[in-house]
């Protein structure tokens, strides 16, 4: 097999790099990965926007109270069953993947893959899945879907799962960002970790100019990826002002990032750092 050449500009996820992860891990490489996951998030939102809200998919009484799924919505049932199945095939062997329902997971039937162990073990379990779940269904979904019903509940739930997995991957990647920041400047972080000083940790790891850039970039991605593409320039799908119509409102994507994605990533970073010296 050809040897892998370290490439600091690579945007491959860390778990797919075969180089010594401790050597190739840098703030630049983890940020590259965050940029790549933006594409997945924007495309996932666009796919989900093909369907209206379909609120029956989230109604916990819709499935009735049959054995095994009483009290669960179609969406929750779909996510739980998919996670069980994907766990069997090894998805959660990858430390970058965090399930929403860890209690129910089946043991993998596949041989273990030797994923690089980058995270500090005592901190690796930081998990904000419940916050992501609540934010997605209560706050985000109504912002980019129309409030109607076309009966495509399973298709909508399948699209929800793709959104949730991309958001979870992005937000929990904060553990890797925090690990890099700690390794780059342990002298800065250690006193605040020992003092359990969340506010100072939050200040240390925050880069407002980077956040502003991220917000502008995801808004632009929503514009670029979310336009109808036609060969006839005169026949573009535009609103009365001549502005292109986007599949997902770009300002909703910017809002998603500034209100939820980046704040939750920072919570993950702080919680990770607090356990980093355990």
CB of 240 to ligand PRE, least distance (A): 35
Residues 150-189: x where in contact with ligand PRE by CB under 6 A, - otherwise, as a string? ---------------------------x------------
Task: Give Cβ neighbours of residue 6 (< 8 Å, ≥ 6 apart).
Answer: 19, 23, 24
158 conformational bin, left if phi > 0, alpha if psi -120 to 50, beta if neither: alpha
Task: Give Cβ neighbours of residue 259 (< 8 Å, ≥ 6 apart).
Answer: none
Which two three-digit tokens encode residue 95? 């430390």
CB of 62 to ligand PRE, least distance (A): 35
Compute the C-alpha angle 15/19/22, nearest 5°.
80
In the bound state with ligand PRE, the residue whose beta carbon lies nearer, of 63 and 204, is: 204
Residues 255-274: x where in contact with ligand PRE by CB under 6 A, - otherwise, as a string? -------x--xx--x-----
Regarding 207 and contact with ligand PRE (CB under 6 A), the answer is yes
CB of 6 to ligand PRE, least distance (A): 21
CB of 258 to ligand PRE, least distance (A): 10
Regarding 35 and contact with ligand PRE (CB under 6 A), the answer is no
Regarding 211 and contact with ligand PRE (CB under 6 A), the answer is yes
Residues that bind ligand PRE (CB under 6 A): 31, 34, 177, 205-207, 210-211, 214, 262, 265-266, 269
């Amino acid at each position: 097999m050809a040897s892998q050449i370290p490439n600091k500009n690579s945007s491959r996820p860390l778990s797919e790099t075969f180089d010594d992860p401790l050597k190739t891990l840098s703030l630049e490489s983890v940020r590259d990965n965050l940029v790549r996951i933006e594409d997945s998030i924007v495309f996932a939102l666009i796919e989900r926007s093909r369907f209206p809200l379909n609120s029956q998919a989230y109604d916990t009484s819709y499935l009735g109270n049959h054995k095994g799924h009483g009290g669960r919505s179609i969406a929750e049932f779909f996510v739980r069953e998919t996670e069980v199945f994907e766990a069997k095939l090894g998805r959660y062997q990858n430390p970058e993947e965090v399930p929403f329902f860890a209690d129910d997971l089946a043991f993998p039937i596949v041989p273990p893959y030797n994923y690089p162990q980058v995270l500090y073990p005592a901190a690796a379990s930081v998990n904000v899945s419940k916050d992501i779940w609540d934010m997605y269904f209560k706050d985000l979904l109504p912002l980019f879907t129309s409030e109607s019903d076309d009966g495509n509940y399973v298709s909508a739930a399948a699209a929800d799962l793709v959104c949730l997995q991309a958001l979870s991957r992005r937000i929990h990647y904060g553990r890797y960002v925090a690990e890099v920041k700690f390794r780059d400047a342990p002298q800065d972080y250690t006193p605040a970790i020992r003092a359990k000083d969340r506010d100072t940790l939050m200040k240390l790891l925050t880069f407002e100019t980077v956040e502003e850039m991220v917000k502008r970039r995801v808004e632009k991605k929503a514009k670029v990826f979310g336009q109808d593409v036609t060969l006839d320039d005169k026949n573009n799908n535009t609103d009365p002002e001549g502005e292109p119509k986007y599949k997902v409102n770009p300002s909703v994507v910017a809002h998603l990032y500034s209100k939820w994605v980046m704040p939750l990533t920072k919570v993950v970073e702080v919680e990770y750092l607090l356990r980093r010296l355990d």
